[in-house]
Structure formats: structure tokens, C-alpha cells
Amino acid sequence: MTFLIFVLSLGYYVASSGDSKDYQRLLEDSATLKEGNDTLRAENDALRETIVGLRRDHRVIERRIRDDLGKVRRDEIMILLNQPERR
């Protein structure tokens, strides 16, 4: 009986104190973190797809080398055009 009174008193104390505000803040923080996790999960999925493409298809590797590093084949000529600087 004493234990039941203690538990009920503790429940009342927690419910009536400022802890409910803390609980609400923690719920909001949890929701924000879940959204961040979803964003990171989507980025990870996209990176996995890129990795699979690079491992399976040599054309993907060639395209990345051309685009990222500006490389050309031996029989090709690269023409650079002057472009205005972006600000």
C-alpha cells in the first residue's frame, strides 16, 4: 500500500512540475533529429547508387573523370571558351 501511494505521488509530482515542458521539448527535439536522419538516409542511398554505378559501368567512371577532372581521350581536342566570372 505504501508503495502504491509513493508511485501515485511520484506520478503526480512529475505531471505537475515543469517536466512536462521538458518532455514536450524532448519530443520536438526527437522529431527534428528524425527528420535529419531521414535526410542523411536519403543522401546515403544516393551515394550507394553512385558507388554501384562506378563499380559496374565503366561509362560512369569515364563520365566522372571527364566532368570532374576535365580529362579527354588522346584523339580528342579540348576547346576552352572564355566564360564570364560568376559572383
pLDDT digits (tens, 9 = 90+) for 27-85: 899 999 999 999 999 999 999 999 998 899 999 889 888 888 888 888 988 887 887 77
| pTM of the predicted model over 0.85 | no
Inter-axis angle of helices 58-69 and 19-56, to 10 degrees?
110
Nearby residues of 61 by Cβ (< 8 Å), 6 or more positions away: 54
Q: How far apart are CA 70 and CA 79, in angstroms?
A: 11
